[in-house]
Amino acid sequence: EIVMTQSPATLSVSPGERATLSCRASQSVSSNLAWYQQKPGQAPRLLIYDASTRAAGIPARFSGSGSGTEFTLTISSLQSEDFAVYYCQQYNNWPPTFGGGTKVEIK
Amino acid sequence: EVKLVQSGAEVKKPGESLKISCKGSGYTFPYYWIGWVRQMPGKGLEWMGIIYPDDSDTRYSPSFQGQVTISADKSITTAYLQWSSLKASDTAMYYCAKLGSSSWKEKFDYWGQGTLVTVSS
């Protein structure tokens, strides 16, 4: 089973600043990686798939990059509604697996 | 508009059985894998398994194989997650979610609202 490791566990950022979240796979997952956002009391929402493709309706301030084992989610200028927990997930190898999450909190 | 609507919260005792549901609409239900994700209180997301409603091909993560049963009824566009004997450790929020195509190598593009299952004596 591929282990997905996200860092940092918590990221404190001021509104308007840039946030960079990392996700590392224990072996190559090619570009078969997605990012999800989860706000308290809500279901996760798809942000990015295939490592760098924004899902429908996702603002351009969200971008994804990487391939193989190293991936990054960047939020260019944090808005108040972006404070949430972010999960990466690989779907290249069976079983698909999620990372442990990064909580983005207000600094 | 794609929608996944899950059944309501459940409170059960250890040893009891349970079946929760997820009704899909707004897309061709039989031809997209639909899966289940567990989130224990205060914890992260865990991928449980998926089913292809058209032929009921079902695949489980090894961590959940034998612990739960996933099924679907394409005639009523509904998927199910069931337990034969609940444990306190099954207490969690359970989400259904649809994969993005007929391949299992896909992201979850739409999610249900979640069903909270509480198991307590």
For residue B46, how many other CB atoms are within 10 A of its CB? 18
The SS3 assignment for B86 reads coil
Q: How far is B84 from chain A (nearest CA, A)?
A: 23
- Whole-number Å distance between alpha carbons of A11 and A7: 9
Interface test with B, best of A7, A36, A54, A93 (most B CBs within 10 A): A36
Whole-angstrom distance, CA of residue A64 vs CA of residue B4: 26
- Residue B102 pLDDT greater than 90, yes or no: no
For the stretch B11-62, pLDDT in tens is: 999 999 999 999 999 999 999 999 999 999 999 999 999 999 999 999 999 9
Q: Output the average pLDDT for chain A.
A: 97
Name the nearest CA neighbour of B46 among A69, A97, A87: A97
Interface residues of chain A, partner chain B, Cβ below 8 Å: 1, 32, 34, 36, 38, 43-46, 49-50, 55, 87, 89, 91-92, 94-101
pLDDT at B65 over 90: yes
- The predicted-structure confidence for A60-88, as pLDDT tens digits, reads as follows 999 999 999 999 999 999 999 999 999 99
d(CA B105, CA B121): 39
pLDDT at residue A107 in the model: 87
